[in-house]
Amino acid sequence: MPLNHPYKKLPVPGDAPFELKPSPGKGWGAFAKRRISKGATILAEKPLLIIQKPVQEITDHDVAMAFLQLAPRDKEKFLRLGDNGPGPFESCLAAMAQNTFEFLIRGSNLPVYGLFVLLSRFNHSCAPNSKVPLLVTERGQETLAIIAKKDISVGEEITFSYLPGFELKAQHERHRLLQFTCKCDACHAGIEQKQASDLRRTLVRGLQYLSRGNDPDDQAQDSTLPFSIDPELKKAAEELRIPLSSRFVYDLLSMVLLEEEGLMDDLIVKKVQTVSDWFETESNDMIVKLAMAQTTWREKFNVAARLYGREDAADDDVANELRTMRDLNLGQ
């Protein structure tokens, strides 16, 4: 490990569960120094500087002016940042672009861009073990955190997905969007594993379309899916006419695929648990309870599959609720 690398002097808190070191093919990255439990906050950090302007309008001058206002200690941190390694950035704007997170401040719709010295040291993965949730912060208390999505072992690289909704894209689509060749484990698997992975992700996207009536990627109706769905079924999905029982079966099948893909997330689990509480027809509810009592998602799916297409007394209420949420743009 280079002894004099500029990152060696970045201010990693003494009690942090990670260390910075080279990550082959990815510059430097953050690696677990001790076991990190699922749900743990790995790092919470305040931005070094903030720019509140549409991202396309941020100029080199804006970043340079923000830099000049920093305290000497913070200027030094900024200057330690390298272009994916020990080399300096070509411009202040390039340093900002590579080390920025977007977030919102309560009471304002305008996104804010903050430069985070340590959070930006975590590399991307298409099957990440952590996440940086989109945050609405209070003014003056802008802090972003990286949270473990699963248990992380000592020595494992800590990663998150750089773009939201990114996990459900096939590898060639992901690589088109990333501005570097991704060297994560999912992208470095053998050809057969990669094909299976692309298929699983594509199928989950289709299942989510059926369950939500839109594409999780761009939330637009009539968006192009990477495979075709029976037009009647697609229309029923877009009009939110899919019965609750079928929605539930689609969700469980997504869980089986997401688990196999290593993309399971507590938030998704909570959503399925919520849907399981909506059933009103007793005979359906009994099957749902039996399904949810199974250990694995595959077992839950196997039990619930017999519900597919069944009507439920809650169908109309659920459809109305989903339509209201869609109208209010709250997502589903």
How many residues in the shown chain lie near ligand SAM by CB under 6 A?
18
Please report whether residue 120 would count as binding ligand SAM according to CB under 6 A: yes
Please report whether residue 98 would count as binding ligand SAM according to CB under 6 A: yes
Smallest gap from residue 222 Cβ to ligand SAM (A): 32
Contact residue for ligand SAM among 121, 174, 205, 300 (CB under 6 A): 121
Residues 28 to 87 in contact with ligand SAM, rule: CB under 6 A: 28-29, 84-85
Q: Are 43 and 18 in contact (CB under 8 A)?
A: yes
Residues 208 to 267 in contact with ligand SAM, rule: CB under 6 A: none
Residue 151 or 185 having the CB closest to ligand SAM: 185
Smallest gap from residue 29 Cβ to ligand SAM (A): 6
Between the CA of residue 192 and those of 43, 126, 140, 199, what are the distances in Å?
36, 17, 49, 11
Residue 180 or 308 having the CB closest to ligand SAM: 180
What is the Cα–Cα distance from 262 to 113, expressed in whole angstroms? 30
Contact residue for ligand SAM among 42, 113, 124, 261 (CB under 6 A): 124
What is the Cα–Cα distance from 262 to 150, expressed in whole angstroms? 9
Please report whether residue 169 would count as binding ligand SAM according to CB under 6 A: no
Q: Are 151 and 36 in contact (CB under 8 A)?
A: yes
Q: At what angle do helices 282-292 and 297-304 cross, to 10 degrees?
A: 160
What is the Cα–Cα distance from 60 to 256, expressed in whole angstroms? 46
Contact residue for ligand SAM among 44, 108, 154, 180 (CB under 6 A): 180
What is the Cα–Cα distance from 175 to 153, expressed in whole angstroms? 27
Beta strands per DSSP E along the chain: 18-22, 28-32, 41-45, 49-51, 100-105, 112-115, 123-124, 130-131, 136-137, 144-148, 157-160
Residue 182 or 210 having the CB closest to ligand SAM: 182
Category of 193 on φ-ψ map: left (φ > 0), alpha (ψ -120 to 50) or beta = alpha
Question: Taking CB positions, which residue lies at the least distance from ligand SAM?
Answer: 27
Please report whether residue 183 would count as binding ligand SAM according to CB under 6 A: yes
Please report whether residue 26 would count as binding ligand SAM according to CB under 6 A: yes
Residues engaged in binding ligand SAM (CB under 6 A): 25-29, 84-85, 98-99, 120-121, 123-125, 180, 182-184
